[in-house]
Amino acid sequence: MQVLAVGAHPDDVELGCGATLLRHVARGDQVTILVLTAGQRGRLDGMSRQAEQQDAAARLGVELRWGGFTDGSIPDGPETITVIDEVVAATGAQILYTHATHDTHQDHRATATASVAAGRRLPTVLQFETPSSQHFEPTIYVDVAETIEDKLAALRSHLSQVLRQGPVDLEAIEAQARFRGFQGRLRYAEAFEAARLSWDLASPASVMAPALAFAATG
């Protein structure tokens, strides 16, 4: 299957759904990530966020494409939709991951809006959270117990962001996966809102067995 994940800046896709993409790769899906800007505003002296993103993509085992927009100024209209449309067409993507719609960062919002528009013909569009998400109410959980470590490793590729402390706070990211797992009755999970999920009941097994005994409080 063909999978596309769209993020505003280098590291956004890894933060939002990196461990899920690793699950796709592990089962043989073709995964492409489209990063809309080069993240110029978050640069540290002498460090290339593009090189970091290339390194992270290599670690994930995914193809990397660039959108060519300016950090801080991603439009949410036809220019961006067209760029994503073309990647959807070129890759034949059937699943699209992107930012959640409510986010205080204008680039995240614009990316979400344009991606959901570009995904208008796709049966499945899932939206991930970021540290600046608002009103995020996930209902879809993916078990990432086997890939959380590799996600954290891929995030370390974004060394400039780790050094800036805040954007990529690895400890907080792991806590988030642990908390989302707790909510999803799993040990570690990435959580998503569904713009639309076409759930396939043609293939034999598409829901996982409960991986963790869970007992309600009280």
- Tell which positions 4-63 bind its own copies, by CB under 8 A: 8-9, 11-12, 15, 20, 23-24, 26-28, 37, 39, 41-42
Is position 156 an interface residue for its own copies (rule: CB under 8 A)? no
| Stretch touching its own copies by CB under 8 A, among 53-61, 101-109, 148-156 | 101-109
Q: How far lies 151's CA from each of 14, 87, 107, 189, in Å?
A: 7, 24, 23, 12
In the list 54, 61, 63, 117, the residue contacting its own copies (rule: CB under 8 A) is: 117
| Stretch touching its own copies by CB under 8 A, among 54-62, 149-157, 170-178 | 170-178
Nearer to its own copies, 58 or 196 (CB): 196
Is position 206 an interface residue for its own copies (rule: CB under 8 A)? yes
43 in Cβ contact with 71 (< 8 Å): no
Nearer to its own copies, 43 or 65 (CB): 43
CA atoms of 176 and 165, how far apart (whole Å): 16
In the list 51, 86, 89, 196, the residue contacting its own copies (rule: CB under 8 A) is: 196
Nearer to its own copies, 59 or 108 (CB): 108
Residue reference for tokens 């993916």? 142
CA atoms of 128 and 142, how far apart (whole Å): 11
56 in Cβ contact with 14 (< 8 Å): yes
Closest contact distance (angstroms) between CB of 12 and its own copies is 6
93 in Cβ contact with 3 (< 8 Å): yes
Is position 68 an interface residue for its own copies (rule: CB under 8 A)? no
SS3 120: helix
Is position 89 an interface residue for its own copies (rule: CB under 8 A)? no
CA atoms of 46 and 132, how far apart (whole Å): 27
